Amino acid sequence: MTEDQTIVAGVRDEPLSVDEALAAVSHPRAGAVTLFVGTVRDHDGGRDGVTRLDYSAHPDAEARLRELASAVAEPEEVRGVYAVHRVGQLDVGDLAVVCAVSADHRGLAFEAGRRLIEDLKKGIPIWKRQQFDGQDHEWVGL
């Protein structure tokens, strides 16, 4: 990470903002910004009827997310990295995760943005309890 880069990484129980993410990674040298917005959907794993998700995170999740964001920001041409995941009860349509990466050129912005969300989903200890129609539920990511 250079002095000229911005990194925002966190786990929050408040609603997320795409505008906040875009503002955080804004930089005069950035010619590209990639944005990923993960929303709560009404189905999962071939099963309809998801009514809400309850996200929870390990106490180390935020620190590990900061480490990931810093690793994504290693190339000097990456100007900003933003990765914030929500915890708590979310309804269908709510934003669950917002990631943004700015870079000098689109190729690096796309590459870094994809790495950010893929590694977040694989390696950050955040789990969800899916509530279905009726009283049925299941845990995902444990």
How does pLDDT run across 14-57, given as a tens digit for each residue?
999 999 999 999 999 999 999 999 999 999 888 899 999 999 99
Specify the pTM. 0.94
Helix (H) or strand (E) holding 131: strand 126-132
Both structure tokens of 43: 């189905």
Place of tokens 């959907």: 41
Torsion-angle region of residue 43: left (phi > 0), alpha (psi -120 to 50) or beta?
Answer: beta
- Show Cβ contacts of residue 12 under 8 Å, excluding neighbours closer than 6 positions: 84, 85, 86, 87
How does pLDDT run across 131-141, given as a tens digit for each residue?
998 778 878 87
DSSP secondary structure letters along 56-125: EE-TTHHHHHHHHHHHHT-STTEEEEEEEEE-EEEETT-EEEEEEEEESSHHHHHHHHHHHHHHHHHHS-
